Amino acid sequence: MNNNRLTDTICAISTPPGVGAIAIIRLSGADAINIANTVFHGKDLLKVPSHTIHFGTIRENNKIIDEVLVSIFKDKKSFTGENAVEISTHGSPYIQQQVLQLLLKKGAKHAQHGEFTMRAFLNGKMDLSQAEAVADVVAANSETAHQLAMEQMRGGFSNEIKKLREELIHFASLIELELDFSEEDVEFANRQQLKDLVTKLHEALHQLIQSFNVGNVIKTGVPVVIVGEPNVGKSTLLNALLNEERAIVSDIAGTTRDVIEDELNIKGINFRFVDTAGIRETTDQIESLGIKKSYEKIDQALVVLLMVDAVTISKEKLQSDVAKIRERISNKQKKMFVIANKIDKGNEQEVLQKFEGIDDVVFIAAKDNKNVEEITNKLYISVAEGLVNTNDTVVTNARHHEALSQANEYLLRVLEGLDQQITGDFLAMDIRQALYHLGQITGEISTDDLLDNIFSKFCIGK
Partner 1 sequence: MNNQYDIIVVGGGHAGCEAAAAAANLGSKTLLITMNMDAIAQMSCNPAMGGIAKGQIVREIDALGGYSGLVSDKSAIQFKMLNRSKGPAVWSPRTQNDRMLFSKEWRLMLENTPNVFFWQDMVNELIFEDGKCVGVKTQIGIEFKSKAVILTNGTFLNGLIHIGEKQFGGGRAGARPSKGLTEQLVSYGFESGRMKTGTPPRVDGRSIDYTKMEEQPGDKNPGTFSYLDTTTKLTKQRSCHIAYTNQNVHDVLQTGFEKSPMFSGRIQGLGPRYCPSIEDKIVRFSERERHQLFVEPEGWNTVEIYLNGFSTSLPEDVQYKAMQLIPGFEKALMFRPGYAIEYDFFQPTQLKNTLETKLVENLYFAGQINGTTGYEEAAGQGLMAGINAHLKTNEKEAFILNRDEAYIGVLIDDLINKGTNEPYRMFTSRAEYRILLRQDNADVRLTEKGYKLGLASELRMKKVAEKKQHIEKIIKRFEEVSILPKEVNSYLEQQNSSPLKQKVKAISVITRPNIAIKELSLCNTKLSDETNLYTEDVLESAEILMKYEGYIKREKEVADKISRLDDIKIHDTIDYTKLGSLSAEAVDKLTKIKPSTIGQASRISGVSPSDVSVLMVYMGR
- Contact residues: partner 1, CB under 8 A: 1-7, 112, 122, 176, 178-185, 420-426, 428-429, 432-433, 444, 446-448, 450-451, 455, 459-462
Least distance to partner 1 from the beta carbon of 185, Å?
4
In angstroms, the CA 5 to CA 208 distance is 36
Least distance to partner 1 from the beta carbon of 432, Å?
7
User: Would you say 16 or 461 has its CB closer to partner 1?
Assistant: 461
In angstroms, the CA 343 to CA 127 distance is 56
In angstroms, the CA 392 to CA 138 distance is 22
Least distance to partner 1 from the beta carbon of 41, Å?
34
How long is the chain?
462
User: Would you say 116 or 363 has its CB closer to partner 1?
Assistant: 116
User: Would you say 5 or 47 has its CB closer to partner 1?
Assistant: 5
SS3 213: helix
> Beta strand 52-60 with 40-41: parallel, antiparallel or unpaired?
antiparallel
Q: What is the DSSP string of 7-75?
A: TS-EEEE-SPSS--SEEEEEEESTTHHHHHHHHEESS-TTTSPSSEEEEEEEEETTEEEEEEEEEEE-T
Among the listed residues 141, 387, 153, 135, the one whose alpha carbon sits nearest the alpha carbon of residue 268? 141
Among the listed residues 288, 342, 275, 266, the one whose alpha carbon sits nearest the alpha carbon of residue 311? 342
Least distance to partner 1 from the beta carbon of 202, Å?
19
Task: Quickly count: other Cβ atoms within 10 Å of residue 54's Cβ.
Answer: 16
User: Would you say 211 or 453 has its CB closer to partner 1?
Assistant: 453
SS3 389: coil
Helices (H) and strands (E) in the chain, counts: 16, 13
User: Would you say 62 or 421 has its CB closer to partner 1?
Assistant: 421
User: Would you say 181 or 295 has its CB closer to partner 1?
Assistant: 181
Least distance to partner 1 from the beta carbon of 405, Å?
17
Least distance to partner 1 from the beta carbon of 2, Å?
4
User: Would you say 126 or 339 has its CB closer to partner 1?
Assistant: 126
Residue 176's Cβ-count burial label (10 Å; 0-12, 13-18, 19+) is: buried
Least distance to partner 1 from the beta carbon of 448, Å?
8
